[in-house]
Amino acid sequence: MKGVADLAVIPQKFIRKERIVADVQISAGWLHSGYPIMMHSSIGGELFNPEDARTKGLWGEVHELGHNQQRTCWEFSPHTTEATCNLWSVYVHEEVLGLNRAKVTFSFLTDTRPQRLSICVAHCSSKQKNKNICIILTLYFLVFARYHDMRNFPVHNEEKMNLYAETFSKATEMNLTGFFKAWGWPIKPATEEKLNYIEKCFTLTQVPEACIHKCYR
């Protein structure tokens, strides 16, 4: 739970208790988020086996904890709903449990990753709207922290996406409007103008390494 709070950039004492309840019949799926998180009793034993957690992981459970940390101001429903919650699964498994993401979820298996990335690029290049498998997994501490200080968020996805691009650019100290436009985001001229004072990042391949340097310098 400390890892969940750390990534969300919130106090480690949660305002609402995060509980997981197992039952023989739940309203949707094998697990679902909420207060409490619900899971089928047939898999409830996963929560009581620390050794399995350290070797096999708890991807689904942390995925639901991630859902509870999602905020509408940086969510573009329905396209990212099942994607951004996985930031917590990746972070907790790699930074807390010491498990590489490739070992704990099929989606990141090494032998399928190139194929999935190709699909991702093809989808985004054709500007398809569902980008559940196309998510940037860096710098969220800085981005989420900035959102905590904001008020009066936009309601519609297009405006929220422009705010997100602006916030991400300011957090990384790099003008990433070109990056987001290359992925089909509806970046407005006004957003580009706001960020003209920041060093521009011109190619997709520059972004991950450059952003990491900005974060950890």
d(CA 43, CA 11): 30
- Do 99 and 2 fall within a single domain? yes
Determine the pLDDT at residue 171: 87
Determine the pLDDT at residue 127: 45
Q: Confirm if 143 and 167 have CB atoms less than 8 A apart.
A: yes
Determine the pLDDT at residue 16: 93
- Do 155 and 197 fall within a single domain? yes
- Do 91 and 195 fall within a single domain? no
- Do 13 and 95 fall within a single domain? yes
- Do 161 and 83 fall within a single domain? no
- Do 98 and 143 fall within a single domain? no
DSSP 3-state of 187: coil
Determine the pLDDT at residue 130: 38
**Assigned token pair, 128:** 């398809």
**Assigned token pair, 8:** 């969300």
- Do 139 and 104 fall within a single domain? no
- Do 22 and 90 fall within a single domain? yes
- Do 19 and 84 fall within a single domain? yes
- Do 93 and 138 fall within a single domain? no
Q: Would you write out the chain's pLDDT as a tens digit for each of its 217 residues?
A: 999 999 999 999 999 999 999 999 999 888 999 999 999 999 999 899 888 888 889 999 999 999 999 999 999 999 999 999 999 999 999 888 988 766 666 554 455 555 655 655 555 444 444 333 334 555 788 899 999 989 999 999 999 999 999 999 998 888 999 889 988 999 999 999 999 998 877 554 455 555 555 544 4
- Do 2 and 104 fall within a single domain? yes
**Inside any domain, residue 115:** no
Is the four-CA dihedral 44, 47, 53, 59 of positive or negative sign? Answer: positive
**Inside any domain, residue 126:** no
- Of 110, 143, 177, the residue that ends a domain is 110
Determine the pLDDT at residue 167: 95
- Do 11 and 49 fall within a single domain? yes
Determine the pLDDT at residue 89: 94
Q: Which residue range is the domain that position 203 belongs to?
A: 134-216
- Of 94, 110, 126, the residue that ends a domain is 110
- The phi and psi torsions of 37 (rounded to 5 degrees) equal -70, 140
Q: How many domains does the chain have?
A: 2
**Inside any domain, residue 122:** no
Determine the pLDDT at residue 201: 72
